[in-house]
Each structure stands twice: as structure tokens, then as C-alpha cells.
Amino acid sequence: MTLQVMKFGGTSVGSIEKIQRVGSRIQKKKAAGYDVIVVVSAMGKTTDHLVDLAAGITVRPSKREMDMLLATGEQQTMALLAMYLINEGIEAVSMMGWQAGMVTEASHGNARIADIKRESIQKQLNLGKVVIVAGFQGVTEDFEITTLGRGGSDTSAVALAAAFKAELCEIYTDVEGVYTTDPRYVSKARKLAELSYDEMLEMANLGAGVLHPRSVENAKKYKVPLVVRSSFNDEPGTIIKEETSMETGLAVSGLAFEKEVTKITLLGLPNKIETLSNVFKVLAGAGVNVDIIIQNALDKETTSISFTIASTHLADALDVLKTNQPILSYSDLNIESNLAKVSIIGSGMVSNPGVAADMFEVMSNIDVKIKMVSTSEIKVSTVIPTSDLNKALEALHEAFHLDSPLVEPELSSKA
């Protein structure tokens, strides 16, 4: 029988009534003749509440015990949903990550899935049951419970879809799909009919919160077709797959942004081969993720390095840079906060030269000062003042024709 994976996020299962609605949707899928694996998140803001509870005990909870705590959130949802289905006469069984064979590497809080042992789920599928798996969690080879990082249920779902060769992995959420950009910022943001894995990967990594980036990575690797759609209606959502046919007339498919980044500049560094690696090793050692990097050799002896980090990492970055000042031997350290990163993304850029130039022109026309730039084949990112974020998004959305696609989906060639 054909198998599909259905994943329901926290808002989709945020109350008993919503769990019942999700149940009816599963019932329909089953009635249509599919084998179904369901992956659920914790109800509503449950995970946040659990994090708050832990914070009431200590600011540095044991990572192992944190995973023990957080894994309970998903357990509630799966049991309630299974009860509902059973009550409706649908055979269903819920499983914790460890029962479902979700084996992860041995690290707490952000573990990667290492393997899926399929036997236990397969056994239940063979009995005709809907299998409901707790998202966001797994177990190490040593039977320690782990979690996959916030938002990780998407990754559980895609990994299961890959392991069971599902025809489709549906991600049900509280929005209707993937938008050209965040509709809360740009009123004309439009739902995209489809996107390629690469485009979605850039969007997810660059701040579009709709999918856990690692889920897209896995979907691309194992060629799992994904659909992001609303759990509140029957609209078709956004399809994410390898090749896309629609909207090929557009160089840019979407805009992503991060509201709060900080630029750090180290001045008067020795202009030596090892300087770059020294600075970034120190930061990496402290778990600080560095984004855009610019090096500027001032003369033979000195160089300066600027880089951006998420503003939430500023305290950690300053700590480690100041401690290591004698080793790194920079003369000054400048900080510029209240910056935002705005990126344009689109596979169409590969065949459209001048997209970056167009972006810079748009920014200059509306008087927005670009502080830093970075590019890849299918994206251009710029760092600008956060106070200019809204107008930059509006202007870029319009300039790159994201308000209304040039090529109507009906007119495009079929995939």
C-alpha cells in the first residue's frame, strides 16, 4: 500500500478540539487507502512552558534531564490523538521516539538522527494501524532520550518519510504554505505554489521559520517530496521538490530576513596567514555561529576582520574575544547592533546575471545603506539597519515582481 507521512505542528494540535480535527483528517487519509505514519509536536506552547519550568529550577539545567523533560510534550499529544482515533473505530497506536526506532547520535538538545530501525513501526503498519510517532525525539545506542533541537518534529517526519519511502510528507501548520516573505511584514506576500529544495533550504536557513532547516536538508538528500499546508483548511499548500516548473520567469522566488544581527569588527590584527583561523576557532569553540565575514588588509602589518552573529550570541562572543585578546592581539573591538539581514533567494538567479546589482539599486533608491554583502549561486544577502527593514522588504518584494508573478502558473510548462 502507498504510505504517506503527516506531521502536525504545535498550533495544529493546540487543544482537544484541534486534535479531534487532526484526527478526522487522518481518518480521511486512511479511508482513501493510504498507510499513514503521523508525527506530532507538543500541544501549543507546551515546549516553551517546559523550558520555563526548568528555568525556575536553574539557569543551567542538565542537558540530559532537559531532554527527559522536553520529550514529555510530544508524548501527551500522541496519546490523546491515538485515543481519539481508537474511539472513532480507527486502529491506531502511539510511540515514543525510542519505541519507534528513532536512533540519534549521543548528544543532548540538538541530536542528529543516525538511523531509523523500522521493525516496530512496520509491525504496526502491517496490522493496519495508524502509527503516531512523537516528533522531536529519539534515543541513543545507550538508551538515553535525546531531542533534535527546537522545531525538530519536521526533521522527524522527513526522516520517517525517507526511511519508509513515503510517497509524500505533508507538514501541517498554521499558515497556508511557504510565502514569498513573511506576510506580517509585507502585506502583499503571496503563497508560493512550489519551490525547489535548494530554494527552501536557503529560505529556512536565512530565517523563514516555517520548516526546520535540517528537515529540508534530509528531504533533498533522500528526494522526499514535501508539502507545507494549513491544518485548518483544504488549500493545496506549497510543494517542495527537486525541480520546479512554475514561475521560471522570476529570478527571485522569495525574501528571507533576520531582524537582529550584530556586526563585530576587530581592528589592528596582525596581517598573518593564521589570523583568520585563530579568530574563528576561538568563536567556534564558544559555540558562536558566525555568518558574513569580511577581511580588510590595511597594510603589510595589520588587517581588520568584520563579521556578523545573531545578536543573541553577542554576550558569548564578547566574552571569548576579550578573554583571548592577548592571543589574538587585536587593538580595538567595535560593535554595531540593531542590524538586520535581508536576503533574496531564487534558483532563477543562476541564469540571470545582474540580480545582485538590481538589489543594490533598489536599496540605494530608497536610501538604505548596505553594510555588508554575501552571495551564493541562488541568494544575495545584505546587512542593513533594522530600522530600514520594513521599507527594504516592501521595495524588494515589488521590484522583483513577487507581488504578482510574471508567469502565470497555468501558462508554464508541466513538470
Residues that bind Mg ion (CB under 5 A): 9, 151
- Which CB, 9 or 348, lies closer to Mg ion? 9
Choice between 12 and 306, CB closer to ligand ASP: 12
C-alpha dihedral sign at 333, 256, 210, 166? negative
By CB under 6 A, residue 135 contacts ligand ASP: yes
What is each CA distance from 202 to 216, 221, 415, in whole angstroms? 10, 15, 22
CA dihedral over 31, 34, 35, 39, signed as positive or negative: negative
- In terms of DSSP H, where are the helices of 196-263? 197-205, 213-222
Nearer to ligand ASP, 151 or 177 (CB): 151
Contact 392, 342 (CB under 8 A): yes
What mask, x for binding ligand ASP by CB under 6 A, covers residues 43 to 62?
----x---------------
Q: Given the complex with ligand ASP, which of 135 and 213 has the nearer CB atom?
A: 135
**Residue 302: Cβ-neighbour burial (10 angstroms; 0-12, 13-18, 19+):** middle
**Shortest distance (Å) from residue 21 CB to ligand ASP:** 18
Binding-site size for ligand ASP (CB under 6 A) equals 12
- Distance from C-alpha of 351 to C-alpha of 347, rounded to nearest angstrom: 8
Q: CB-wise, 231 or 343, nearer to ligand ASP?
A: 231
Q: What angle do CA 28, 155, 199 make, to 5 degrees?
A: 95
In the list 34, 136, 164, 197, the residue contacting ligand ASP (rule: CB under 6 A) is 136
Nearer to Mg ion, 97 or 151 (CB): 151
Q: Does 42 bind ligand ASP (CB under 6 A)?
A: yes
Site map (CB under 6 A) of ligand ASP, residues 377-396, x = contact:
--------------------
Q: Tell me, residue by residue from 66 to 85, as one string, x for binding to ligand ASP by CB under 6 A and - for no binding.
A: -------x------------
State the minimum distance, in angstroms, from the CB of residue 203 to ligand ASP.
17
Find the binder of ligand ASP among 151, 213, 254, 346 (CB under 6 A).
151
Among 14, 44, 152, 346, binds ligand ASP (CB under 6 A): 152
CA–CA separation, 403 and 400 (whole Å): 8
289 near 309, Cβ under 8 Å? yes
Question: Among Mg ion, ligand ASP, none, what binds residue 355 when CB lies within 5 to 8 Å by partner kind?
Answer: none
| Candidates 82-90, 147-155, 280-288, 365-373; binding stretch for ligand ASP (CB under 6 A) | 147-155
Spatial neighbors of 216 by CB under 8 A, at least 6 apart, are 158, 197, 200, 201, 204, 226, 240
Give CB contacts under 8 A, 24+ apart, made by 365-374.
365/395, 366/391, 366/392, 366/395, 368/392, 371/263, 371/336, 371/339, 372/263, 372/292, 372/294, 372/306, 372/308, 373/292, 374/291, 374/292
Please count the CA atoms within 13 angstroms of the CA of 55 that sit on its side-chain side. 6
Residues in the chain: 415
Which segment (39-47, 158-166, 350-358, 382-390) binds ligand ASP by CB under 6 A? 39-47
CA proximity to 170, closest of 266, 238, 90: 238
153 binds ligand ASP (CB under 6 A): yes
| Partner in contact with 135, chosen from ligand ASP, Mg ion, none, beta carbon below 5 to 8 Å by kind | ligand ASP
Q: Where is 226: in which H helix or E strand?
A: strand 226-230
Q: Does 150 bind ligand ASP (CB under 6 A)?
A: yes
Report which of 196, 222, 212 is spatially closest to residue 147, judged by C-alpha positions. 212
- Of 23 and 152, nearer to Mg ion (C-beta) is 152
Q: Which is nearer to ligand ASP, 152 or 207 (CB)?
A: 152
- Closer residue to ligand ASP, CB minimum distance, 42 or 349: 42
For the record, the C-alpha cell of 181 comes out as 516573505
**From the list ligand ASP, Mg ion, none, which binds 136 (C-beta under 5 to 8 Å, kind-based)?**
ligand ASP
Question: Judged by CB under 6 A, which stretch of 151-159, 181-189, 316-324, 325-333 contacts ligand ASP?
Answer: 151-159
List residues near ligand ASP by CB under 6 A: 9-10, 41-42, 47, 73, 135-136, 150-153
